Structure 1
Amino acid sequence: MDERTAKWRLLGPGLVVAATGVGAGDLVATLIAGARYGDALLWAAIAGAVVKLAMAEGVGRFTLATGRTLYDGWRGLPGGFGRIAAAYFGLYLVIWGFVYGAAGMTATALPLAALAAPLGLELDLAAWAMLVGPLAALITWFGGYRTVERIIGVLVAIMFVTVVGLAVIVAPDISQTLRGLVPLVPEGAGVYALGLIGGVGGTVTVAAYGYWIAAKGWTGPEWMGVMRLDNRVAYIATGVFVVAMLIVGAELLHAAGIALERGDRGLLDLGEVLSERFGPVVATVFLIGFLATAFSSVIGVWQGVSLMFADFYAHLLGRAGDPAVTGDRSLAARAYMLWLTFPPMLLLMLDRPFGLIVAYGVLGAVFMPFLAGTLLWLLNSEATPKPWRNGWVSNGLLATAALMFLVLAGIEVAGLFS
């Protein structure tokens, strides 16, 4: 096996972070953008993949260059900012995990229920959701990172074939589609453009990339080339995936004036449209792709964010870097897996409390500008060895991301209180 082939066989963490970041809600947002504005926002979908690539590369570069986790970097920020960052992140993880647990389980339950109904397996949506969480917990509890990487690899293949195949089936006008590469914003499309750039594939899981490359066994700057290849391959695949969904929205929904329901249930609407136009087989294949997309996000979160929580807990104990406390088999990581699985079931049976949703929305809106801003700080300071600090391209992309995420945060927070 030559060196180039061996390098390709090493790839994996980038695919995990990209697949975990693209959930059912991102698919709906992309479809709605395509349904409303056709191919006009194609450039925004591609720009979004580039921004996330820059952020994940920054996380990976900091981890490999310093041998520290990103949370450890936040703790080390000077002037009291380290304590503020640590407190914010800990609070965010607790609230985010409680709400995301319910959302992720429900998103996966939707296609499960739709696929099972024709087979006579009719359960309440909440019941399906309550099966999804424990399954994800079992996989991550006993399997660890390696197992999660293999499963996500299979799920990504299903997602990719399904969505790209669907984009081919709807037969786009290539010349019309390519016009969407010109960065123009149709009237009223500004928020949708920002949402595509900032929202698709962009969650707390971007910060988990450093934990996954450590779990993969990549340590030290000598892995920098492999990490960058891994990251590029993953986000090129993400870009193709998002572009394919935008094309489906533009070609299938825009011309016919079909509006999807907001939220994950919009994908069930698309399944009905596909069934009417192409028959039940195509609709069923799409639902399988929907299921793969949702479940890859769930198991990625159950594994990766649990590692982040374990690191947070290890710092509280003063045992940062201790594998017995920070590993995915540690008590803290497994406790967070359970936190993601069982307490959120209360939200499946109750209307979500308004105060909790507001707190979740505010903390979540602030996270991506927090991540972009702190990466700028860490990668331009003595926290990072000089050879691995930011160049002008990385600084430009991260600064653009930080400003854009601040605008999105303002819009989201204003929407929560309006």
Structure 2
Amino acid sequence: MSERTTARHTSTTPGTGYGRVSTDTMRSIVESRRKRRTFWQQLGLIGPAFVAGAWQFGPGNLTTAVQAGSGYQYALIWVIVISTILMIFLTDMSVRLGIKSPVSLIASIKDHLGGWVGVAAGIGIFLITLCFSVGNAVGSGLGLSMLFGGNPIMWTVICTVAVAALLLLRNVYRVIEKVLVGIVALMAIAFVASAFIANPDWAAAASGLVPTVPDGSWLLIVALVGTNFSINAAFYTSYGTKERGRTEDDYRDVTVVDTIPGIIAPGIMTALVIVVAAAVLGKTGEAAPTIVALAGIFEPLAGPIGSTVFALGFFGAAFSSMIANATAGGTMLADGLGRGASSSSITAKIVSGSILAFGILVTLVFQASPIQLIVIAQALTIFIAPVLAALILVMANRTSLMGAMRNKWWQNVAGIIGLVAVLALSIRLLFTLIGG
């Protein structure tokens, strides 16, 4: 038998080593081609990270960004860039945890680190959502009052009732996901357009990428990190990933079409808001103190109706964040208490309602300075962020849970940097509040 005949025989005859390798290789190629998604199928993977992005880009984010630009011009853009990079890494860890966790992330925390740790995680996220609920309640009322007139408190109540009605729907996550992705897309278009029409000093904006800390800016920096490096939003991404039934085979495509763009989008929008605010309002060197002053950033885009455009964006940011915030807080506290990991559970809906009620209550009590109230509420979230960051980092390194999807060394480096950053800022905020 010739060499050519022998080779042909060994490559096709079952039972030989070469035959098995060749058959397995061909099967892998066929399966790979079969699993390759079309463009439209990949778009269908968009969801959980964009929900996290919508949660990030709430009224607190918009308010602090405008104050950063109006008060310090381009100097704080670096905060957004670093926060966005770190947010991508934490969100990616959460996506992988959502894929690998048998039931939910908090359930896995209970299994691996102890039941009390899972309960603490649920309570911690609930407390953060309470802080965010204040900005959402204030923002929704202010936005609609600018559009239609009337008392902002009345509009806050109406928005809260509308969100509560949404949360009562069956399959609530899918409904919320579609609403939030649409709102984020519309806001992105408005902010990109306004950034270029305002004709900012792009060279000065580029200099804002170099970290500096202007005098009196620490509280604002902490608030910017609290909204843009939103660890609670990253944490909740694992729940959206699990609810959508993502698998290891989906991970690469999910990263490309959802995780990275879903987190970069609000980061870019926030940076552009700072740029526009610096160009339009930053000449005075004083932070915009009222909602009307904030609305001045859209005058170059829409002239006399710029305030209307701003009001729509502000309301969209508040309403989208209100939905995501109440849903996430309700779901994760219910999970921490062992009452189920679904946003559709009775306990989750009750907790979500209490979050909405808290937002209205604080809005009613503190009506004198709503803009400053939003900034302080956003900053306070930084106290709990280190705990959640540590939990994500620890769980993403559990080989027994993650297997081949556990963190690589460079992912751990980014995670540790993020953890140290929020821990340092929480300490700094504590001293700032004590000193103030």
Aligned length: 389
Change (3 A) 1:8 1:56: same
Structure 2 residues without counterparts, runs of 5 or longer: 1-35, 368-373
8 A Cα contact 1:62 1:68, kept in partner: no
The structure with the largest alpha-carbon Rg is: 2
**5 Å matches for 1:109-120?**
109-117=141-149
- 2:227 and 2:301 map into 1 onto residues whose CA distance is 30
> Structure 1 residue 200 and structure 2 residue 228: aligned?
yes
Instruction: Look up the SS of the partner of 2:200 in the other structure.
Output: coil
Q: Give the TM-score normalised by structure 2.
A: 0.80
8 A Cα contact 1:110 1:125, kept in partner: yes
- 2:126 and 2:420 map into 1 onto residues whose CA distance is 26
- 1:147 and 1:163 map into 2 onto residues whose CA distance is 25
Query: Which residue is 2:294 aligned to?
Result: 270
8 A Cα contact 1:47 1:197, kept in partner: no
Shift of 1:307: 2.0
> Structure 1 residue 405 and structure 2 residue 422: aligned?
yes
Change (3 A) 1:345 1:32: closer
8 A Cα contact 2:288 2:294, kept in partner: yes
**5 Å matches for 1:218-367?**
218=246, 220-229=247-256, 230-261=258-289, 266-272=290-296, 274-275=298-299, 279-313=303-337, 315=338, 325-342=340-357, 344-351=359-366, 364-367=381-384
Deviations 1:196-228 (A, max 9, x none): 44542515222110111122232x322211331
8 A Cα contact 1:126 1:348, kept in partner: yes
Shift of 1:258: 4.2
- 2:379 and 2:60 map into 1 onto residues whose CA distance is 18
Shift of 1:8: 2.1
8 A Cα contact 1:17 1:209, kept in partner: yes
- 1:35 and 1:202 map into 2 onto residues whose CA distance is 23
8 A Cα contact 1:63 1:210, kept in partner: yes
* Match for residue 380 of structure 1 among 368, 388, 397: 397
- 1:297 and 1:7 map into 2 onto residues whose CA distance is 25
Structure 1 window deviating more from structure 2 (89-98 vs 39-48): it is 89-98
Change (3 A) 1:289 1:304: same
8 A Cα contact 2:143 2:315, kept in partner: yes
* Match for residue 407 of structure 2 among 390, 406, 415: 390
Query: Which residue is 1:33 aligned to?
Result: 68
> In percent, how many aligned pairs have the same letter?
21
- 1:138 and 1:170 map into 2 onto residues whose CA distance is 39
Q: CA RMSD in A?
A: 2.9
Amino acid at match of 1:133: T
8 A Cα contact 2:79 2:221, kept in partner: yes
Change (3 A) 1:198 1:105: closer
* Match for residue 169 of structure 2 among 134, 142, 163: 142
8 A Cα contact 2:300 2:306, kept in partner: no
Deviations 1:103-152 (A, max 9, x none): 422221111011112xxxx2x22221111111001112115111111111
Instruction: Look up the SS of the partner of 2:46 in the other structure.
Output: coil
- 2:122 and 2:267 map into 1 onto residues whose CA distance is 31
- 2:364 and 2:279 map into 1 onto residues whose CA distance is 38
Instruction: Look up the SS of the partner of 1:142 in the other structure.
Output: coil
Change (3 A) 1:255 1:8: same
Change (3 A) 1:221 1:39: same
Deviations 1:8-42 (A, max 9, x none): 23211111111112211122222222233332333
- 2:330 and 2:63 map into 1 onto residues whose CA distance is 27
8 A Cα contact 1:108 1:295, kept in partner: yes
Change (3 A) 1:12 1:288: same
- 1:190 and 1:382 map into 2 onto residues whose CA distance is 41
Change (3 A) 1:101 1:173: closer
Shift of 1:95: 4.4
> Structure 1 residue 9 and structure 2 residue 44: aligned?
yes
- 2:225 and 2:281 map into 1 onto residues whose CA distance is 21
Shift of 1:333: 1.6
Deviations 1:259-294 (A, max 9, x none): 312xxxx44322156559963212211211111111
Shift of 1:409: 1.0
Instruction: Look up the SS of the partner of 1:188 in the other structure.
Output: coil
Instruction: Look up the SS of the partner of 2:398 in the other structure.
Output: coil
- 1:7 and 1:346 map into 2 onto residues whose CA distance is 42
Change (3 A) 1:94 1:377: closer
Instruction: Look up the SS of the partner of 1:208 in the other structure.
Output: helix
Shift of 1:157: 1.9
8 A Cα contact 1:361 1:416, kept in partner: no
Q: Give the TM-score normalised by structure 1.
A: 0.83
Structure 1 window deviating more from structure 2 (336-345 vs 132-141): it is 336-345
- 1:361 and 1:153 map into 2 onto residues whose CA distance is 22
> Structure 1 residue 370 and structure 2 residue 387: aligned?
yes
